[in-house]
Structure 1
Amino acid sequence: MNTLALDDAAQQPQPEHLPNDWLPIREVARQTGVNAVTLRAWERRYGLIVPHRTAKGHRLYSDEHVQRVMAILTWLDRGVAVSQVKALLDSKSPAPVSPGNDWQTLRQTLLQAISELAERRIDDLFNRAMSLYPPRTLCEQLLIPLLADLEQRWQSQFGSQMQRMFFHSWLRSKFGARIYHNNRQLSGPVVLLVNQSDRPMEPHLWLAAWLVSSADCPVEVFDGPLPVGELALACEYLSPRAVLLYASKTLNLPQLPKLLGNIHCPILLSGPAVVIHHDQLPVYTHGIANLSLARDPLEAYGELNRLGLI
């Protein structure tokens, strides 16, 4: 949870002082999944949400405001940029829009900055995007397509390994810092995420960790595979609410029952390996009743939600 959000929440009047049916910003954030920083940015920059203000300046929201936030999320999930949403909400006959243009422009700008190893420019672009969009929207519309564009570019381009190491290191540091900060504010059992690939700094693992952390759930990330026995030992020490294994390549399928057999919390296997082994996984995991599958970070996040774990 962002520090500004915590400060804003701390300044809200107590519930007994609120008018009937009006909500403080912290409660709107809880109900909608849009953090307070983003709600304030939507208000200041685009006039998307205009809350009631008390004499002391506290923001209060009605049920209609909450429904408007949900309508904004519906448009964002369709790929519409936040700058275009107000006209769509306020018009009874919305004009056609080009939802992909703003996202495509931002991706191209980031691709150029990454190719030039321009860390500060990348950071500024991401910070602005993170203040305007919920994490799920940002992953779906920007980060996952950006990573796909980069992998395609890096197949044959000179300097690709340099760019990959630079950007993956930046991404892990960026999300790692946010996760660390969130963990200091949260309590309760963690979701344990383990990179079960032989390649370090798997960006989709860190996207999944950031999505889970942004749902006010503490996370622990092991950015490297654990041998048979040690994953169960880690679970014994951490008592996680769930384990997410990310695998980008082929797995040693005969080892899966031994690796996962002594883990008693829900297990989620995610990543390209789920697609690679789609037909074989049921054969090797039929005895693991607490196992679910997800192809990417968004599916993993959705499955954890479905199971009531975040």
Structure 2
Amino acid sequence: MTLYSIGDVAERCGINPVTLRAWQRRYGLLKPQRTEGGHRLFDEDDIQRIEEIKRWMSTGVPVGKVKALLEGENIEIHDGWVTLQEEMMTVLRHVRPSKLRAKIAAIGRENPAEALIDHVFLPIRQRLNLDQNTARAMCSLLDGALIDYVAFCLTGSRKKAGKDALLIGWGSEDRTRLWLEAWRLSQQGWRIDVLAEPLDQPRPELFPGQKIFVYTGKVLTRRQQEQLAHWQEQGFTVTAHGSDPATEEKKNHSLV
């Protein structure tokens, strides 16, 4: 029977090791084996269970109710993502940066990064951006806290084995979204650096030999598609991140 370290499982399942530990310690969702030195070891059954947990959570089930569902209990299910959104909004209304940072860190430990981005942070930012006055100030506060947290996560991911890459915003002015997408990529095994200032025209020749992701925030225009193909023909390793029409439609639907 093949056994895997927590790092191997985290990379394979796209889950931060901190989250896996929280699922085990706080919620009893996992029961990994241990080496003589106390290190966690997971088998294929554990990995299947992790994927099942992710599936339940992707439907909005709060992490605290997943164990009962896995054990076959009939429980009342509500949208856990909406609950998290409202909890975040409550913290924001108190305008306490320290409490906001603590809340983001807490939910970041217990939930997959991709799910938090799509079901909590992006919907909240969309709600706040609809208001031109107080809510915009709250959104700015949230953006600062999110960038701060994501930068912390990216620093941690760079200390692990992985593939180096650079993320560049291409014609997108949403800097916070750029950092959130960097966090998403870091969960896929990439050690990401972010070019913090979006560019109208990226120049991959300035970064020879580097893997580059470009993020536009929307479906690539025909001109951008042609430019991307030209870079690739020149031998640059440039990939458009998050610009697939089906992917963007799915994400936009989750914000409604």
Q: What range describes the TM-score normalised by the shorter chain of this pair?
A: 0.7 to 0.9
The 1:246/1:297 distance shift into structure 2, 3 A limit, reads farther
Higher relative contact order (CA 8 A, sep 6+): 2
Consecutive unaligned residues in structure 2, runs of 5 or more: 252-256
Matched-pair contact (CA < 8 Å) for 1:35–1:134: yes
1:206 maps to which residue?
A: 179
2:76 maps to which residue?
A: 97
The 1:176/1:238 distance shift into structure 2, 3 A limit, reads farther
2:207 maps to which residue?
A: 237
Instruction: Give the distance between the partners of 1:297 and 1:206, measured in 2 at CA.
Output: 20
The equivalent position to 1:107 in structure 2, one of 69, 74, 85, is 85
The 1:257/1:76 distance shift into structure 2, 3 A limit, reads closer
Aligned with 2:194: secondary structure?
strand
How far the C-alpha of 1:49 sits from its partner, in A, is: 0.9
How far the C-alpha of 1:71 sits from its partner, in A, is: 1.2
Aligned with 2:199: secondary structure?
coil
Matched-pair contact (CA < 8 Å) for 1:195–1:224: no
The equivalent position to 1:146 in structure 2, one of 100, 124, 130, is 124
The equivalent position to 1:38 in structure 2, one of 19, 29, 44, is 19
Matched-pair contact (CA < 8 Å) for 1:136–1:298: no
1:127 maps to which residue?
A: 105
How far the C-alpha of 1:81 sits from its partner, in A, is: 0.9
TM-score, with structure 2 as normaliser: 0.80
**Divergent runs of 4+, >6 A:** none
Matched residue count: 247
The equivalent position to 1:193 in structure 2, one of 144, 164, 168, is 168
Over the aligned positions, Cα root-mean-square deviation in angstroms equals: 3.1
Instruction: Give the distance between the partners of 1:194 and 1:65, measured in 2 at CA.
Output: 37
1:263 maps to which residue?
A: 231
The 1:134/1:227 distance shift into structure 2, 3 A limit, reads closer
TM-score, with structure 1 as normaliser: 0.68
The 1:26/1:161 distance shift into structure 2, 3 A limit, reads closer
The 1:297/1:131 distance shift into structure 2, 3 A limit, reads farther
Instruction: Give the distance between the partners of 1:219 and 1:235, measured in 2 at CA.
Output: 18
Bigger CA radius of gyration: 1
Consecutive unaligned residues in structure 1, runs of 5 or more: 1-19, 272-291, 300-310
